[in-house]
Amino acid sequence: MSYLKETLAELKNVKWPNRKHIINYTIITILLSFFVAYLLGAMDFGFSQAMGKILGSF
C-alpha cells in the first residue's frame, strides 16, 4: 500500500503539458507520421520498379 501512496505523491509532482502543447505535439506527430508513410511508400515503389526491371530482363 505504501507503493501506491508514493506513486500518487510522485504523480502530483509531475508537470503535465497544457492544452496548447498537447495540440502542437499531436499535430507534429500526425505530420511526421504522414511524412514517414510517404517516404516508405516512395521507397517501396522505387524498389518494386527496380526489381521489376532487373527480374524482367531475365
CA 22 to chain centroid, in Å, comes to 15
Record the cell numbers describing residue 33, joined without a space. 507520421
Please indicate, yes or no, if residue 46 is contained in any of the structural domains. yes
What's the domain count of the chain? 1
C-alpha separations of 20 from 10, 23, 33, 48, 56 in Å = 24, 5, 20, 42, 53
Distance CA 41, CA 36 (A): 8
Please indicate, yes or no, if residue 11 is contained in any of the structural domains. no
Predicted confidence (pLDDT) at residue 15 exceeds the cutoff of 80: yes
Determine the structural domain holding residue 45 and report its residue range.
Answer: 17-56
Q: What is the pTM of this model?
A: 0.67
Record the cell numbers describing residue 56, joined without a space. 524482367
* Of the candidates 45, 37, 39, the residue with the CA atom closest to the CA atom of residue 53: 45
Predicted confidence (pLDDT) at residue 37 exceeds the cutoff of 70: yes
Predicted confidence (pLDDT) at residue 3 exceeds the cutoff of 80: yes
